[in-house]
A and B are shown apart, each in its own frame.
Chain A
Amino acid sequence: MKEKFARWDILFLQYLKRDWKKIIVWVLGLGLFSAAYVPAFEEIAKGNGLLGMYETMQNPAMISMVGTTPVDTASDYTLGAMYAQEMLLFCGLFAMVIAVLHMVGHTRKEEDLGLMELVRSFQIGRQANSLAATIEIVFINVLLALFIAGIMMSFGTDTISAEGSFLFGASVGMSGIIGAGIALFMAQIMSTSSGATGSALGIIGLLYIVRAGTDVSNVDLSMINPLGWTYLTYPFTENNWFLLILATIFSVIVVIIAFALEEARDMGAGYLPEREGRESAKKSLLSVRGLLIKINKGVIIGWLIAFVIMGAAYGSIYGDMQTFLESNEMMQQMFTQSGVSIEESFTSTIMMVMIGLVSILPIAIVNKLFSEERSLHLSQLYATKVSRSQLYWTSIILATFAGVIGVLLAAVGLGGTAISVMGDSRSMDIFDFLAAGYNFLPSVLFFTSLAALALGWAPKLGKVVYVYLAYSFLLNYFGGILDLPEWFSKTAIQSWIPQMPMEEFDAPIFITITVISISLMVIGYLGYNRRDMNEGA
């Protein structure tokens, strides 16, 4: 036993030394994101704000996105209750995603890169690295939890109690630990780091979507969801510490299983069987297009399935909307006055959110060309008759095509499910959903073109496009809740596009953004055609 983990402490200290900058950004960034919005929420809560917000948050659409609250009368809806409902699930998700990336980065990735081989040749135990990485992540999340609690308490708001603050922080930290556990587990199952990251994030996405359904239909079912053990702790209201114990037990079990799996496998191997490959290539592979499709296939298929499931999950909510409206007179009046049905209003919002997520896929495909370049995969191809223009435009067209299909699948997933659960009472047909989806196509093109621009002129900035996407996404997601000034929300590209079917289609905007996007792609090409290929030389 001792031998297996020999000198893990050296690796652990090494990791802290290597990662200290990352840890600071991680704790500060996520900590402030989780805790520092208290003053903003105080603004919202002024006057009748809490009352109105309570009604808004009763909407199944909102619950499906941000989670539930145990409060059942508007007068009990405190600032703390609102903060926990709107923020906790999201902060937990972020903590999970970062933990997954970090965990895989220190385990499977090091194995892929051959670093682990070197490390193991020293007097280091076989599993010392996994233990060191696990302890590092637990340490960071404990730090994060305390930091969040400290900041929240420092605002001195009445309903943000000390106990609640600690629970809020602990719930976010716990989410990170759960995420790390899932990642460590998948790192044993899959035989590559990208496979481990993808599957771990996929599991988290699935848990999120499942809880969107169960939160609306029956909250008790969300209790059997590991993700539920974080945000259902209800800080500032019920203070359910018990769920964190469940989450701890779950994490410990997952990590123990992962260690057992790691012990039983060879280094560099996974548990999914390795098939013997083809002796010679299929015709379909033998072109630039064939090659690019092949190397992007996993990502494309994975995301397209995710889009359908996501659409279907949100679509399943449509059945409950009328029931919700019947029980709530105030909301009923609101919708009657505005002349827009609740379904249309929800479609408008959720479509913007979904198409934002669809944009990830084309960005990933465009960025892939640079990561291929950097990893020297293309060196030998540059010396063939394959031109830069072929590599560039094939990538861009493939990305655009994937975006178009992504929009289709998300819209059909949403619309198809919505129509089937609404039954006879439906007010929209599938074309309304498709129109609402493709209305946002220019935004997908815009993100694709930003990635293309980066590829051509400053390929290292390709990842920054994700940051802008995340920023726009959050702005859209919370834009409805926070009352943002017009110019501020317009910094997200989607905000320029009217939200169908609630608003009218705007042809000039649609064409303008499309033309700008295509121009950016052409400008990116000019850069790509003349820059040095980056081969780490």
Chain B
Amino acid sequence: MTKIIEVQGLQKKFGKFQALSDVTFTVDAGEVVGFIGPNGAGKSTTIRTLLGIIKRDAGNVEIFGKDVWKDSLEIHKRISYVPGDVSLWGSLTGGEIIDLFIKLHGGGDKQKRDYLIRRFELDPKKKAKGYSKGNRQKVGLIAALSVDSDLYIFDEPTSGLDPLMEAVFQEEVEKIKKSGKAILLSSHILSEVERLADKVVIIRQGEIVETGTLDELRHLTRSTVTIATEGDVAKMATVNGVFDFKQKDNQATFSADNQYLNDILMEASKLGVRKFESIPPTLEDLFMRHYEG
């Protein structure tokens, strides 16, 4: 697979504050990568470095095999970007701003633009100062989705959008994904990342703490198991790989290390299983583990 984004040991300081201390990850062609982390972890700083808006202090950062600082203009021809906080000129209308962005990107599809304006239900004749946060976000999204790019970078793209529009956004992203484009999606809405992303990169305090597919990450954590048995369910508490054991009558709920799943099943079958439910960890669980850890 061709690497679209390649970040190696990226570091960035603002004055004395070490914003990024070690950021390393890749995005391949045809891949949607979810970029998640708490506020202030360095998501936007990383993205701004990728765009050549700020200059890195150390590390190797390439997009399409080109240096993001030196060859930024070459790179920009083939990418689309939506900032987390779309701020617009109050005196221009949404329609005018979309046209301007498309033109400065190098031209896009007029029909696609009109189609997206309809889909996102934006009033393009309104002056931007009258737009709500969600509507400003739509302007940024429509402009970015109207042009043809090989890489899309979205920084919290759906903040302020209502759930209906969030769904529209997700559908549009799925279309891009199907056509084999790469997408870097920084988001707080974990269900969105879970639905769209092939791979997840978790950043905390300027460092990447976890990278991998959702399946790989799930494997590292515990599933929640609910079990009801004929025999005494309390015996399960002492089995290897069982944590947070809670019992109510002959039903119990506990978290199970995925690697001990087999042992747990063997023990349970001795007691005569009446009910067995296993819920894989959600992205939220993964995320919380890193937030708190």
Q: Which residue of A lies closest to B117 (CB)?
A: A279
Contact: B104 with A277, CB < 8 Å? Answer: no
Given contacts A375-B87, A387-B73, A533-B48, contact A287 B124 (CB under 8 A): no
Q: Residues of A within 8 Å of B, CB-based: how many?
A: 36
CB–CB A279/B93 < 8 A: yes
Does A264 count as interface, using CB distance less than 8 angstroms? no
Inter-subunit contact B140/A384 (CB<8 Å): no
Does B99 contact A281, Cβ atoms closer than 8 Å? Answer: yes
8 A Cβ contacts from A280-295 to B: 280-282, 285-288, 290-291, 294-295
Name which of A383, A533, A535 has the most chain B CB atoms within 10 A of its CB. A383
Known contacts A276-B125, A377-B88; is-contact A382 B96 (Cβ 8 Å): no
CB of B59 within 8 Å of the partner chain: no
* A295 and B91 form a contact (CB under 8 A): yes
B249 to chain A, nearest CB (A): 49
For window 384-404 of A, CB contacts with B under 8 Å fall at 384-387
- Asked if A277 and B52 sit within 8 Å, CB to CB, the answer is no
Q: Of B73, B86, B95, B144, which contacts A385 at CB under 8 A?
A: B73
Chain B, residue nearest A276 (CB)? B125
Interface segment among B76-84, B176-184, B224-232, B274-282: the answer is B76-84
Question: In the assembled complex, which residues on chain B have CB atoms less than 8 Å from the CB atom of A384?
Answer: 76, 101, 104-106
Compute how far the CA of A288 lies from the CA of B95 in the bound complex, rounded to whole angstroms: 17
Q: Is the CB of A383 within 8 A of B89?
A: no
Whole-angstrom CA separation of A379 from B140 in the bound complex: 10
In the complex, the answer to whether A377 meets B87 with C-beta atoms within 8 Å is yes
Contact A376 B105 (CB under 8 A): no
**Does chain A have a CB within 8 A of B92?**
yes
Q: Is the CB of A383 within 8 A of B76?
A: yes
Q: Does A537 contact B (CB under 8 A)?
A: yes
Scan residues 334-390 of chain A and give those whose CB is less than 8 A from a CB of chain B: 375-377, 379-387
* Alpha-carbon distance between A369 and B130 when the two chains are bound, in angstroms: 23
In the complex with contacts A379-B53, A530-B55, A532-B53, A277-B127 CB distance below 8 A: yes
Cβ–Cβ < 8 Å partners of B143 in chain A: 380
Tell me, in angstroms, the Cα distance from A227 to B88 when the chains sit together. 38
Contact B96 A280 (CB under 8 A): yes
- Kindly state whether residue A192 has any CB partner on chain B within 8 Å: yes
A72 at the interface (CB under 8 A from B): no
Cβ contacts under 8 Å, B93 to chain A: 277-279
User: Would you call A285 and B99 a contact (CB within 8 A)?
Assistant: yes
Asked if A329 is at the interface of the complex by the 8 Å CB criterion, the answer is no
The reply to whether B92 and A385 form a contact with Cβ atoms under 8 Å apart is: no
- Residue B247 interfacial (CB < 8 Å): no
The answer to the question of B67 belonging to the interface, with a C-beta cut-off of 8 Å to chain A, is no
A274 interface contact, C-beta 8 A: yes
Determine how close the nearest CB of chain B comes to the CB of A159; give it in whole angstroms.
Answer: 54
Distance from A300 Cβ to chain B, minimum over Cβ atoms (Å):
14
Q: For residues 48 through 89 of chain B, which have their beta carbon under 8 Å from a beta carbon of chain A?
A: 48, 51-55, 73, 76-77, 79-83, 85-89
Among B87, B95, B126, B153, the residue within 8 A (CB) of A383 is B153
B119 / chain A contacts, CB cutoff of 8 Å: none
CA distance A290 to B97 in the complex (A): 12
Let me know if B21 is at the binding interface, CB within 8 A.
Answer: no
Interface string of B99-124 (1 = CB under 8 A from A): 11101111000000000000000001
B90 proximal to A (CB < 8 A): yes
Q: Which of A285, A380, A537 contacts B48 (CB 8 A)?
A: A537
Which listed residue, A276, A277, A376, A537, touches B87 by the CB 8 Å rule?
A376
CB distance from B58 to the nearest CB of A (A): 15
The distance from the CB of B37 to the nearest CB of chain A, in whole angstroms, is 15
CA distance in complex: A377, B87 (Å): 5
The interface residues of chain A lying within 8 Å CB-to-CB of B24 are none
Q: How far is the CB of A491 from chain B (nearest CB, A)?
A: 33
CB within 8 Å of B: which A254-310 residues: 274, 276-282, 285-288, 290-291, 294-295, 298
Given contact pairs A532-B54, A533-B48, A280 touches B79 in the complex (Cβ within 8 A) = no
1/0 per residue, CB under 8 A from B, across A523-535: the answer is: 0000000111101
Contact partners of B76 in chain A: CB under 8 A: 383-386
Nearest CB to that of B105 among chain A residues?
A384
Contact A286 B99 (CB under 8 A): yes
| Residue in A278, A376, A386 whose beta carbon sits within 8 Å of that of B83 in the complex | A376
Complexed CA–CA distance, A385 and B89 (Å): 20
Closest to B83 in A: A379
The reply to whether A278 and B125 contact each other, CB–CB distance below 8 Å, is yes
Contact B52 A382 (CB under 8 A): yes
In angstroms, Cα B91 to Cα A379, docked, is 18
Q: Which A205-245 residues sit within 8 Å CB-CB of chain B?
A: none
| Interface 0/1 of B21-61, CB less than 8 Å to A | 00000000000000000000000110010011111000000
B170 to A: closest C-beta gap in Å: 21
Asked if B129 lies at the interface with its beta carbon under 8 angstroms from chain A, I say: yes
Contact residues in A for B130 (Cβ distance below 8 Å)? 274
Most chain B CB within a 10 A radius of its CB, from A192, A280, A376, A384: A384
Q: How distant is the Cα of A298 from the Cα of B91 in the complex, in angstroms? A: 10
Could you tell me if A385 and B54 are in contact, using CB atoms closer than 8 angstroms? no
Of the A-B pairs whose beta carbons lie under 8 Å apart in the complex, a sample of 20, sorted by A's number, is A276-B125, A277-B95, A277-B127, A278-B96, A281-B97, A281-B100, A282-B96, A285-B96, A287-B104, A294-B91, A294-B92, A380-B143, A382-B51, A384-B76, A530-B55, A532-B53, A535-B48, A535-B53, A537-B45, A537-B48
What are the nearest 8 A-B pairs in CB distance?
A: A277-B93, A383-B81, A281-B99, A376-B87, A532-B54, A281-B96, A286-B103, A379-B83
